[in-house]
């Protein structure tokens, strides 16, 4: 199954995924309504003020009665996401993204809980099973400074990798150009992995990200800070289409 790709004239074209950072669920719904006619997926950024220095809406129960045609991916920027993961496995969530840096004492090669110097560790396979049983996808996010090689023991268990192109926590940050090289490195090391990029993406760099090998592009301020959201998305899609054909 191709994740996050639209097919145009037999060409796989990366998907734009608007990112929603919201203080409450009313803001979440308002932003979803703004982009729903133009995209198929949105990303909900969930921040606890501990793992990152920002706090957003973070009540998964609100999603139970949500009426939308959009698919949701939940980007958990929280401390110890394994403790809250199950609460987010609700409809219409299709994908959960966990930060590698937040998963304390989690290891891919362990099959049962194990003792560490700082407490009990938790097998990554348990998280994967939990997600799969609910029919969802799972991905791992890496902060800008985290080496790609840490994914080696996890890569066969996950559906995608999200590369942060800014430090997580706030929208509107400047894109880190070294992300282009990280995409190429990730693509070379793990050719079949689906790659999403998140942070500082706009009309000036989105084409380069496509050429570097990104499959999904998480875009925030370049959509929601524009007066005409439809035109903003159309312009981004146009650049993506051109870059995908080069």
Catalytic: 198? yes
Say how far apart CA 106 and CA 120 lie, in whole Å: 9
Paired tokens of 138: 């799972």
C-beta neighbour count of 9 within 10 angstroms: 7
Q: b/e per residue, 159-174, with b = 16+ CB within 10 A?
A: bbbbbbbbebbebebe
Q: Can you spell out the DSSP letters for 149-183?
A: GGGTTTGGG-SEEEEESS-TT-SSPPP-TTHHHHH
Q: Which of 48, 159, 198, 215 is catalytic?
A: 198
**Paired strand residues for 145:** none
DSSP state of 224: H
Asked if 112 and 104 touch (Cβ cutoff 8 Å), the reply is no
DSSP assignment of 77-102: ESSSGGGTGGGG--TTEEEEEEEGGG
45, 48, 159, 215: which is the annotated catalytic residue? 45
Give the burial class of 158: count Cβ atoms within 10 A of its Cβ; 0-12 exposed, 13-18 middle, 19 or more buried.
buried
Give catalytic status of residue 45 as yes or no.
yes
Which residues belong to the active site? 45, 198
């Amino acid at each position: 199954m191709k994740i996050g790709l639209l097919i145009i004239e037999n060409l796989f074209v990366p998907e734009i995924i608007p990112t929603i950072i919201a203080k409450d669920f009313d803001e979440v719904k308002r932003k979803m309504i703004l982009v729903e006619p133009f995209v198929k997926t949105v990303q909900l950024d969930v921040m606890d003020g501990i793992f990152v220095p920002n706090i957003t809406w973070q009540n998964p129960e609100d999603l139970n009665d949500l009426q939308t045609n959009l698919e949701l991916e939940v980007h958990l920027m929280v401390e110890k996401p394994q403790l809250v993961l199950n609460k987010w496995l609700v409809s219409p969530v299709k994908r959960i993204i966990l930060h590698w840096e937040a998963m304390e004492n989690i290891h891919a090669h362990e099959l049962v809980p194990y003792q560490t110097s700082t407490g009990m560790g938790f097998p990554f396979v348990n998280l994967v099973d939990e997600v799969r049983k609910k029919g969802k996808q799972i991905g791992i996010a890496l902060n800008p400074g985290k080496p790609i090689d840490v994914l080696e023991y996890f890569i066969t268990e996950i559906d995608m990798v999200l590369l942060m192109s800014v430090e997580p926590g706030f929208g509107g940050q400047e894109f880190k150009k070294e992300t282009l090289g990280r995409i190429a490195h990730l693509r070379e090391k793990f050719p079949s992995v689906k790659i999403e990029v998140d942070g500082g993406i706009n009309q000036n760099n989105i084409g380069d990200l496509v050429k570097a090998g990104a499959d999904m592009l998480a875009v925030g301020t370049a959509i929601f800070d524009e007066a005409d959201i439809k035109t903003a998305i159309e312009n981004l899609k146009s650049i993506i289409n051109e870059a995908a054909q080069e």
